[in-house]
A and B are shown apart, each in its own frame.
Chain A
Amino acid sequence: DQQVKQNSPSLSVQEGRISILNCDYTNSMFDYFLWYKKYPAEGPTFLISISSIKDKNEDGRFTVFLNKSAKHLSLHIVPSQPGDSAVYFCAATRQGNTPLVFGKGTRLSVIA
C-alpha cells in the first residue's frame, strides 16, 4: 500500500517557466510534508517543508501548497532553471517521531 504517490515519473519544462510537481497521500494522520531534490550520485537534499496547519510555504523560487481535504500537495518552482533538473521526492510523516514515507520521485528536466 503506497501511502505517498507521485504519479508523474517525469516532467519536462522550459527554462524560465513554472515547474509544478504533484504528490498525493492516503494517510490522513500525516501532518508534516517535505520535498527533497536528488542529483545523480548524491544523496537527497532537503528543499522545503510544510506543516498541516498551513496551506502554503514559500522559500525563494520554491513554494509548496497543501490541500488537506484533497490529500494533495504540490511544489512550484518559478522560474525554472537548468540546475533544477533532478529527481524530486515528496515525503510525509506524522508527529511522534515516526519515519518519513517517500514517494517514488519525479524526474524534472529543465530545457534551456
Chain B
Amino acid sequence: KAGVTQTPRYLIKTRGQQVTLSCSPISGHRSVSWYQQTPGQGLQFLFEYFSETQRNKGNFPGRFSGRQFSNSRSEMNVSTLELGDSALYLCASSPGADSNQPQHFGDGTRLSIL
C-alpha cells in the first residue's frame, strides 16, 4: 500500500512569492492534516481537511490556506512568503472517521525562503 506522498521534496523561494505544496494521502484515507516543523519546535498544526471541507484550523495567519479535492488529495498554499516560513511542511492522512486513529505522515516538503 503506497504511503503518503508529498511533492515537491525541496523548494526554494524568495520573500513575497507564493508557494503551493501537494499531498496525496494513503488510498482510502479521507482526512488530510498539515503541520509545520521548525528547528527546536514540535509539529505545529496548520489545518485538517475531511471530505473536501476544512474541519480544523490551527493558529496560523490567513496567508496559509489549503484545500482538498474529491479524490482526497490536498494542497497547501502560502502567499506573501516571509523568512520565518522556512520550515519542513508535513502532511498526514488518516481514515478520518475517528480522531483515535493514527495519522500517517509523508516525508515532507522542505521550504527555504531566501
- Cross-chain contact A105 with B42 (CB below 8 angstroms): yes
Bound form: Cα–Cα A105–B108 in Å: 17
Q: Is B75 an interface residue (CB 8 A)?
A: no
- Cross-chain contact B41 with A104 (CB below 8 angstroms): yes
Which of B4, B42, B105: most chain A Cβ within 10 A?
Answer: B42
Contact of A102 with B100 at beta-carbon distance under 8 Å, contacts A43-B106, A43-B107, A97-B56 already known: no
Residue among B4, B42, B48 making CB contact with A89, cutoff 8 Å? B42
Residues from chain A with Cβ under 8 Å of B105 in the complex: 36, 43-45
Residues from chain B with Cβ under 8 Å of A95 in the complex: 98-100
- Cross-chain contact A96 with B99 (CB below 8 angstroms): yes
Q: Is A51 an interface residue (CB 8 A)?
A: yes
Interface positions of B from 22 to 47, Cβ below 8 Å from A: 33, 35, 40-45
Residue among A4, A6, A42 making CB contact with B107, cutoff 8 Å? A42
Q: Is A99 an interface residue (CB 8 A)?
A: yes
- Cross-chain contact A100 with B90 (CB below 8 angstroms): no
Residues from chain A with Cβ under 8 Å of B58 in the complex: 99
Bound form: Cα–Cα A43–B37 in Å: 11
29 A-B residue pairings within 8 Å (CB atoms): A6-B42, A32-B99, A32-B100, A34-B102, A36-B105, A42-B107, A43-B4, A43-B6, A43-B90, A43-B108, A44-B43, A44-B90, A44-B105, A46-B104, A51-B100, A93-B99, A94-B99, A95-B98, A97-B96, A97-B99, A98-B56, A99-B33, A99-B56, A100-B43, A100-B45, A102-B42, A102-B43, A103-B42, A105-B42
Beyond A91-B43, A97-B99, A102-B44, 4 additional contacts (C-beta under 8 Å) are: A36-B105, A43-B92, A94-B99, A95-B99
